[in-house]
Amino acid sequence: RSAAPPPPAPRRAIDPAAGAGAGRAAPAGDRAAMGQAHASGTYFREAAIKEHFHMVQSLWTEPDLANLTDRLKDMTLNFSLDKVKFTKLLQMSASFQDAVDAWFTEFSHDRASQVVDGLEFLSAMIMVSSQVPLFRKISLLFALFDLDKTGCIRKDEFTIFLKAITTGLHRVISGLPPPSTVAELGGLSSEFFNTLNSQVLSQRDLLMWMTEAHFSLHYISVLSRLNTGLFAWGANKRYQLGLDLEPQMQRVPVPVLGLEGLRIASVASSESHALFLTEEGAVWSCGSGFCGLLGHGDVQDRQQPQLVESLASSVIVSVAAGIRHSVAVSDKGQVFTWGSADMGQLGHGSTEDREVHEWAHDPKSGGTFAYVLRPTVVMALFGQRVLATQAACCSFSTAALTTQGEIYTWGNNTDGQCGQGQKCPDHHLIYVDPHMQRTAMQVLLVPRKIAADVAFQKVAGGGYHMLAIDDRSRLWTWGRGVWGALGHGDQRSAYEPSLVEPLKYHLCHDVVAGEVHSVCLTSLYRLTITASNKDVAMSPFSLLGLPLGRVDRQLAARQPVAPPATSLQLNAFASARLVHMALPWRPDPGQPLIDPQRYPPADIQESIVLIDRSLWEGEWLKLSSTEFDFGVRLSPAGAKVPSRSGLSAPILFAVEGKWEPRLDCVDRICVVESPPDAAGKATPEELTPVVVDTALRCLEGHGLACFFILPKGVEVFTVDVPETAEVRARLQRIPVGVMSHEHGMVLKKHITRLINMRIAEAPDGMPEDVKDWRECREEFTGRPYFENVATGGKRWAPPQINPNTLATLLVVREDGFLPRLQAVVDMRPKGVVVCQQSWRPDAELVSLAESFLETLEVPIVAVTYEAGEELKGVASNGSVPWVTMEIQPYGGVFAWGNGTQGQLGLAGIENQDFLTKAQNMLTGEHNLFVNRPFYVAHLHEHEVTSIACGSAHTVAVTQTGDVFTWGAASGLGVPVETSSSQVPMFVEQLEGLVRATQAFAGHSHCYVVAEMPYNSIV
């Protein structure tokens, strides 16, 4: 938890191992001890060029530094320079003599021989230059340390490089860490070379180390103009990342050096190209140039970003990219399009118009295709004074959002992605291949306004569907509905905008889409907890909750609030005393659900009520001493549990099978840990006889029920009915079942704590249950046994200490949450906080009836099990907690559509299985999907502020600057051994290095805008 009002700290970190691996492609030099030293303290933060080196920043150009490199190598073999050689190397005029003397002194004063290491000096001069861009600096360094001019750097040369450049920079710049020893740098060099397939370093290898290793990135931060830089990773076969030396796959994030000095506001990217929009409104592009989609007036590829000159006279505010076309919107409302026009996606009308379109031969089909080489204004909009503010693209369709909140669309509308209805009169039928009738497409050649009764504020495109947020922050979708990509609860296509009902009352702030999946960013509730009792010390803290009711109504109800006994000023919609309302696990039909004597209605109306979410359908073991829900699986072979009353009795927890039925089981619910002889048994067939034998022993001891804790790694299963009639008859006298290993260990820990409490409270640490028992050994065998000195009784297993807790076995046939919630809401409290049960500890969206929501005025919020336990703790400590509810305009992430490659992030949520599996019987292909929005609980407490989707992966940036990715491996930015990650993973390369602020994605790649760790000095 955190002090209010700053955001709460994460309570449960996401386990990267659940996403099948982690690691970086290049070694993290900072993993070495010396690397840690470089990243710590005040180093780099106060870096500054020493006064007598200021002039060198602008003294030499790149050709000058290249000439100095050649001159140094020709002048001496060991690169040591006395005063004469140093002066000869620089060849400066007499007016620079004082500066040359100062430089020589700085680089030689600590050497007995009074010489300058030319490699130290020249490498430092290269890095501090403000005349040379960063990539060219790295190229110059490679040429300098290719000592034998073989086109590569050997391992010993790389160690020399590390020593020379760190020492040289330390001489020129104050505030940098002192140089490491040769031994330390040699270890760093060895670590890096161990990751390579060669014993020599190519220029690409050096670039990789310089841009991936944290050790070097700290230096680059202060010695480049990256400042707020753009990091990229993923597929780069078509140069869409804009990286130098064009790696085909970039596994971990690296800065895009070609954008050095530019502040990127937005990125639009597809499978083949990328558009980079700067904060000043300029557009840069790179990637594959076919169809002219880069906007440079030709069809040439661009490996690194290049300014789109045709847009230089306009201030661009929005960019978008389709598969083969590009779009830009200016601050004057003009929409520019360029690239392929084969599906009408450019909006310039008939492709027969040769004044706008050019034609080329298609060698694949033998036909021709039309395209536009340069950004061209869509006159069907601007000519009619329709002014745009934002653009979005599907694969072959385009949308423009106007200043009036209207959406115009054009291009492919075959699946309804233009939202113009199935019988749009402006449809044109075209054939992708004239020789194939099944390639017929319905397209719109010019923009057409979507008929809608709402005003929109944002539009986004997926592969073949579109999404928009209206001015009431509601989400609408239309287009192809396969795999539930529209979120309407089915797979039908929608040819006009349709409201996404599950999110109707939430505040949607951003929406993005991949090929067939969608992700929405919504508001959460922030609960600030303070103490209204001044006599109890409690620091204010805050928690996040998932809204379950009418967020739209709470938005209008906000007002300034000052919680009692604090100096906080919050913009809240509810603020009141917190009351923990303890409701029964299951209602008694003969009694009211809420006791009015215990919870007077007048008090409740002035309070925010804390309740538990009721138990789900299933079979449960509940203890009177904990709120934890222990799930069990009853066998149909055992006795039935009374459905109304359940079965209550003291509990016996038998550790590792050490128990004696005739003495320990009498009138108890018995939970037995798997004995040593069950080790190695991992299948239901192997374990069933052990479970049955355990149950029969418990029955012989007059136990009331018996549950067997399964070994680790064994899934819960139903114990089948034994074949023997005699055994079946005996088992029908006692409820029998199994418990998962995980829940069994939680139960064991809790019982152990209760027993330790009894031991601590007992005189001499001996509870009444065991004080008369003594351990003895048989005279001849030495076998241990226990004897009661008071009664003379004997037993082989250690005597049991009663944990003094009551266990209740329940069978829940129907989820009773909604009636419970209705009863609480009917009392009209200031708010309701629903605590998740331990069985499903994560916050989840609950479907509430429309009739309930229409009249709902009370704010309802769900919090995690851990947060609920914390709230119960402060409610019981005498502090009289006060809760203030605010709306946080970010943090909630919902996903739906195809999740086969993990792009929804819905796997691995405890005891939840949202995904539906569908298999094609002809091909054997299987898909996982959900057809309506589900909450990505993994990210609940990480406060997501920015989201983006690739074709089959998703990326998110949090309020603290962390980056998460999930889905197809190519877009993760974290090397994994499998083809995908089913859960969100930390992008470890960026963690602790930069603070990310925005996320963008292309087909199989990602970009994030991130603040470099230190200020630049060049």
**Is the pLDDT confidence value at 13 over 60?**
no
pLDDT band at 499 (very low <50, low <70, confident <90, very high): very high
Mean residue pLDDT of the chain comes to 91
Q: Which residues contact 722 (CB under 8 A, 6 or more apart)?
A: 637, 692, 728, 731
Whole-angstrom distance, CA of residue 150 vs CA of residue 198:
14
The residue-averaged pLDDT of 665-687 equals: 88
Residue pLDDT, tens place only, 878-934: 778 999 999 999 999 999 999 999 999 999 988 888 999 998 888 888 999 999 999
**Is the pLDDT confidence value at 30 over 60?**
no
pLDDT band at 517 (very low <50, low <70, confident <90, very high): very high
Q: In the chain, count of helices (H) and strands (E)?
A: 20, 54
**Is the pLDDT confidence value at 39 over 70?**
no
Neighbour count for residue 954 (Cβ, 10 Å): 31
Pairing of strands 200-201, 153-154: antiparallel
Integer CA distances (angstroms), 593 to 262, 607, 828, in order: 63, 18, 15
pLDDT band at 584 (very low <50, low <70, confident <90, very high): confident
Residue pLDDT, tens place only, 391-400: 999 999 999 9
Cis peptide before 5 (omega within 30 of 0): yes
Backbone dihedral region for residue 980 (phi beyond 0: left; psi -120 to 50: alpha; all else: beta): beta
Instruction: Report pLDDT for 724.
Output: 86
**Is the pLDDT confidence value at 531 over 90?**
no
**Is the pLDDT confidence value at 10 over 80?**
no
Residue pLDDT, tens place only, 963-1017: 999 999 999 999 999 999 999 999 999 998 999 999 999 999 999 999 999 999 9
Instruction: Report pLDDT for 32.
Output: 35
**Is the pLDDT confidence value at 28 over 50?**
no
Instruction: Report pLDDT for 878.
Output: 78
Instruction: Report pLDDT for 17.
Output: 31
What is the residue-wise DSSP string for 693-757? HHHHHHHHTT-SEEEEEPPTTPPP-PPPPPS-HHHHHHHTTS-EEEE-HHHHHHHHHHHHHHHHH
Q: Which residues contact 680 (CB under 8 A, 6 or more apart)?
A: none
User: Is residue 784 within 8 Å of residue 776, measured between CB atoms?
Assistant: yes
Residue pLDDT, tens place only, 337-353: 999 999 999 999 998 88
Q: Which residue did the predictor score with more confidence, 493 or 538?
A: 493
**Is the pLDDT confidence value at 479 over 90?**
yes
Whole-angstrom distance, CA of residue 700 vs CA of residue 691:
14
Residue pLDDT, tens place only, 833-860: 999 999 999 999 988 999 999 999 999 9
Residue pLDDT, tens place only, 643-663: 878 999 999 999 887 899 999
Verdict on whether the full-model pTM lies above 0.75: yes
The residue-averaged pLDDT of 437-456 equals: 93
pLDDT band at 439 (very low <50, low <70, confident <90, very high): confident
Instruction: Report pLDDT for 36.
Output: 42
**Is the pLDDT confidence value at 807 over 60?**
yes
Whole-angstrom distance, CA of residue 901 vs CA of residue 881:
44
pLDDT band at 77 (very low <50, low <70, confident <90, very high): confident
Residue pLDDT, tens place only, 207-227: 999 999 998 999 999 999 999
Q: Which residue stretches of 468-600 are H helix?
A: 551-556
Whole-angstrom distance, CA of residue 989 vs CA of residue 995:
12
Q: In sequence order, what are the beta bridge partners of 391?
A: 400
Instruction: Report pLDDT for 352.
Output: 87
Residue pLDDT, tens place only, 776-795: 999 888 899 999 999 999 99
Lowest mean pLDDT among 137-146, 817-826, 918-927: 918-927
Instruction: Report pLDDT for 604.
Output: 96
User: Is residue 311 within 8 Å of residue 297, measured between CB atoms?
Assistant: no
pLDDT band at 38 (very low <50, low <70, confident <90, very high): low
Q: Which residue did the predictor score with more confidence, 531 or 379?
A: 379
Element (H, E) at 74: helix 62-75
Q: What percent of the chain has pLDDT over 90?
A: 80
Residue pLDDT, tens place only, 703-754: 999 999 999 989 999 998 777 889 999 999 999 999 999 999 999 999 999 9
pLDDT band at 587 (very low <50, low <70, confident <90, very high): low
pLDDT band at 24 (very low <50, low <70, confident <90, very high): very low
Residues in the chain: 1018
